[in-house]
């Protein structure tokens, strides 16, 4: 055979064609076959009516022939892998299904995906192509066709599992799935309308794509993406993305982990979906794990559950004001979370995990509110919703920490809620609003608007007229900081002292805590005047004094410059 091909310069070489490496059957009953090894791995696509294949098998001809075969022509470049992936859909504006074909090694390994006109017979004709943007990303490793935005036009999905994403100024192999939305007039943009990036390093996100149909019964087609080396143990994962009017959800609605604890799985290497195998009204999903020699069937008796989550704070109980008394009472408020469930054939009861986070914008040790039941800023609560009722609520009491533990009394306290399915209810697929947030503030006794407007005034005068150079006397300065307005929070007295001057101490009715530091060769002394500041203080020091707070709006009367005369005295004795 080798000698025969050498005689024709290896023309039409089909020895390693790998026909059937990828397959699809369109709605008209035509079989689409990818043969990426044809013509010295240039690759080839073949399409034929399934009925003609059956007829040829019934023929009594000793050398049966199949009618209606169409195929791509042999081209000049080798090692392109045309036909590595195939899919069918209406992509050229007529009613005839067209052929979507991945060529991942084309264009110097940048990759290309071709649309072959479904009306062409004999030699297939290319009507459009999508270009990969990154070399060696394997753009076209997987392809799929689905109307994800429900506009009546089929859209194109392309996987590039070796795509490198820039993370912290470094390229990391994450994998990518690109969505191209078909526009009126059967046109596609040269740039993708949406990009989904894998979460795991070397996870090969986008190795497989499957159109699932409408999982959640919202009128949009949903998609599964395989990442066969994703996950904590690199066993593979499958990500479910829901369709919407703009394309696909930015984050997966569900992540399916490998069901077996094995180092060799490649779970999600191949996917097939869209067929209702058990005839229950939901499409099912078939997941291949070639490293384990297994395939797993996921029957979507997973009921679509809409979760409009509401997060309410009991405004009547929001009395988190600070007491002026010596003893600080416990101030609390109530958080109510209600979950409403609706959907098609939902289970009799659904068990949810409700994760509640308090003051999430703060670092864990700086959070100002805690849950009364756990004395922690977060908790996950089990919530069971009965289908006949359709709604369930939980009430949690939170409290404000003691005054000395709360530095920031001005910024809002954010409360967040996340809803998830617990392991006991794996036969359901959450859809809808699974995240909610609300905010509240600490009541500061600052009027109806709860906005404090302080009026800080600062006066300072030296207690000595001059200081002698070389003497051992101290410069004493009397400073009075006064607040004539509402509470001043995180109030500080900031003193900038001259070079070669050192802070020694402060004295007064209320002893201040002062810290000396250096900023850009300037010595700064900062004294805490209170949080909030409620009375005047006296401190002894020198030169520029500034009293300020984080919510101060009166800047004209809280800065003072003080001058202290410096004199030199000489003691002379003349002898002759």
On whether residue 137 sits in a domain, the answer given is: no
Q: Tokens for 222?
A: 């949903």
**Claim to verify: residue 169 and residue 281 sit in the same structural domain:** yes
On whether residue 445 sits in a domain, the answer given is: no
Judging by DSSP bridges, how do beta strands 332-340 and 391-400 pair with one another? antiparallel
**Claim to verify: residue 198 and residue 271 sit in the same structural domain:** yes
On whether residue 353 sits in a domain, the answer given is: yes
Residue 161 confidence (pLDDT): 98
Residue 535 confidence (pLDDT): 46
Instruction: Write the burial class of residue 442 (CB in 10 Å: 0-12 exposed, 13-18 middle, 19+ buried).
Output: buried
Domain boundary among 407, 440, 473: 440
**Claim to verify: residue 388 and residue 505 sit in the same structural domain:** no
Residue 538 confidence (pLDDT): 45
Q: How far apart are CA 157 and CA 146, in angstroms?
A: 8
Residue 176 confidence (pLDDT): 98
**Claim to verify: residue 238 and residue 329 sit in the same structural domain:** no
Residue 194 confidence (pLDDT): 97
The tens-digit pLDDT sequence of the chain (576 residues) is 566 556 556 566 677 889 999 999 999 999 999 999 988 899 999 999 998 888 877 766 655 566 678 888 876 688 999 999 999 999 998 999 999 999 999 999 999 999 999 998 889 999 999 999 999 999 999 999 999 999 999 999 999 999 999 888 889 999 999 999 999 888 999 999 999 999 999 999 999 999 999 887 788 999 999 999 998 889 999 999 999 999 999 989 888 888 887 777 899 999 999 888 878 777 889 999 988 899 998 876 544 445 455 545 443 322 322 222 222 335 777 888 888 877 767 778 888 888 889 888 888 888 888 888 888 888 998 988 888 888 888 888 888 887 667 777 777 888 888 888 776 445 566 666 677 888 777 766 676 666 777 788 887 777 766 666 666 666 677 777 887 777 777 777 888 877 767 776 666 656 677 888 887 778 888 887 777 776 454 444 444 444 445 555 555 556 666 665 555 555 556 665
Give the contacts of 419 (CB within 8 A, at least 6 positions apart): 307, 309, 339, 352, 353, 354, 355, 430, 434, 435
> What is the domain-level CATH number for residue 551?
2.60.40.1510
**Claim to verify: residue 155 and residue 286 sit in the same structural domain:** yes
Q: How far apart are CA 131 and CA 434, in angstroms?
A: 36
**Claim to verify: residue 276 and residue 375 sit in the same structural domain:** no
**Claim to verify: residue 289 and residue 219 sit in the same structural domain:** yes
For 176-206, the pLDDT digits (tens) are: 999 999 998 889 999 999 999 999 999 999 9
On whether residue 87 sits in a domain, the answer given is: yes
**Claim to verify: residue 59 and residue 198 sit in the same structural domain:** no
**Claim to verify: residue 537 and residue 500 sit in the same structural domain:** yes
**557 vs 174, 407, 460, 548, 549, CA distance in Å?**
58, 25, 12, 10, 13
Whole-model pTM over 0.75 = no
On whether residue 574 sits in a domain, the answer given is: no
- For residue 520, the enclosing domain spans 456-567
> What is the domain-level CATH number for residue 211?
2.130.10.130
Provide the number of structural domains found in the chain.
Answer: 4
Q: Please tell me whether the peptide bond between 429 and the residue prior to it is cis, using omega within 30 degrees of 0.
A: no
On whether residue 421 sits in a domain, the answer given is: yes
Domain boundary among 279, 301, 323: 301
Phi-psi region at 20: left, alpha or beta (left = phi > 0; alpha = psi -120 to 50): left
**Claim to verify: residue 114 and residue 169 sit in the same structural domain:** no
DSSP string, 238-300: EEEE-EETTEE-SS-SEEEEPSS--S---EEEEEEE---TT-SSS--EEEEEGGGTEEEEE--
On whether residue 241 sits in a domain, the answer given is: yes
On whether residue 57 sits in a domain, the answer given is: yes
User: In three state form, how does the secondary structure of 464-481 look?
Assistant: CCEEECCCCCCCCEEEEE
**Claim to verify: residue 165 and residue 285 sit in the same structural domain:** yes
**Claim to verify: residue 435 and residue 460 sit in the same structural domain:** no
Q: Which residues pair with 19 in a beta bridge?
A: none
> What is the domain-level CATH number for residue 425?
2.60.40.1460
For 276-327, the pLDDT digits (tens) are: 887 877 788 999 998 889 999 887 654 444 545 554 544 332 232 222 222 2
Domain boundary among 267, 301, 335: 301
């Amino acid at each position: 055979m080798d000698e025969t091909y050498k005689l024709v310069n290896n023309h039409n070489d089909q020895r390693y064609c790998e026909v059937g490496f990828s397959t699809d059957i369109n709605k008209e009953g035509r079989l689409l076959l990818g043969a990426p090894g044809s013509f010295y791995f240039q690759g080839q696509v073949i399409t034929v009516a399934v009925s003609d294949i059956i007829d040829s098998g019934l023929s009594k001809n000793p050398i049966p022939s199949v009618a209606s075969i169409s195929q791509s022509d042999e081209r000049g470049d080798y090692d392109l892998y045309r036909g590595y992936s195939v899919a069918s859909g209406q992509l050229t504006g007529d009613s005839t299904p067209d052929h979507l074909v991945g060529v991942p090694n084309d264009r110097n390994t940048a990759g290309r995906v071709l649309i072959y006109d479904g009306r062409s017979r004999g030699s297939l004709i290319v009507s459009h192509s999508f270009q990969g943007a990154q070399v060696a990303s394997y753009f076209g490793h997987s392809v799929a066709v689905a109307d994800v935005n429900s506009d009546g036009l089929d859209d194109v999905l392309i996987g590039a599992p070796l795509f490198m994403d820039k993370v912290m100024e470094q390229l990391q192999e994450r994998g990518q799935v690109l969505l191209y939305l078909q526009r009126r007039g059967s046109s596609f943009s040269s740039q993708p309308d949406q990009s989904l990036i894998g979460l795991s390093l070397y996870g090969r996100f986008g190795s497989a794509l499957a159109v699932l149909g409408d999982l959640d019964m919202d009128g949009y087609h949903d998609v599964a993406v395989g990442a066969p080396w994703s996950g904590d143990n690199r066993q593979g994962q499958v990500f479910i993305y829901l369709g919407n009017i703009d394309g696909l959800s930015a984050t997966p609605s569900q992540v399916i982990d490998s069901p077996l604890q094995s180092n060799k799985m490649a779970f999600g290497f191949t996917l097939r979906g869209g067929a209702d195998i058990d005839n229950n009204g939901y499409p099912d999903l078939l997941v291949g794990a070639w490293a384990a020699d297994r395939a797993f069937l996921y029957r979507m008796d997973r009921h679509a559950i809409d979760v409009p989550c509401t997060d309410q704070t009991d405004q009547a109980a929001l009395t988190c004001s600070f007491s002026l008394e010596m003893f600080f009472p416990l101030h609390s408020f109530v958080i109510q979370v209600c979950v409403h469930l609706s959907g098609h054939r939902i289970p009799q009861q659904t068990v949810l995990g409700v994760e509640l986070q308090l003051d999430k914008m703060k670092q864990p040790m700086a959070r100002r509110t805690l849950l009364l039941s756990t004395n922690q800023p977060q908790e996950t609560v089990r919530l069971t919703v009965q289908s006949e009722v359709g709604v369930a609520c939980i009430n949690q009491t939170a409290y404000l920490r003691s005054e000395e533990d709360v530095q920031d009394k001005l910024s809002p306290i954010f409360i967040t809620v996340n809803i998830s399915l617990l392991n006991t209810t794996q036969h359901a697929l959450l859809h809808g609003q699974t995240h909610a947030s609300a905010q509240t503030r600490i009541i500061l006794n600052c009027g109806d608007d709860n906005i404090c407007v302080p009026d800080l005034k600062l006066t300072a005068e030296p207690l000595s007229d001059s200081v002698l150079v070389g003497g051992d006397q101290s410069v004493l300065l009397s400073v009075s900081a006064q607040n004539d307005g509402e509470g001043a929070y995180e109030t500080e007295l900031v003193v900038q002292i001259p070079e070669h001057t050192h802070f020694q101490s402060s004295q007064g009715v209320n002893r201040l805590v002062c810290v000396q530091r250096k900023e850009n060769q300037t010595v700064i002394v900062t004294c805490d005047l209170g949080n909030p500041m409620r009375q005047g203080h006296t401190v002894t020091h020198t030169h520029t004094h500034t009293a300020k707070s984080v919510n101060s709006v009166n800047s004209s009367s809280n800065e003072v410059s003080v001058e202290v005369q410096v004199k030199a005295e000489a003691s002379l004795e003349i002898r002759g």
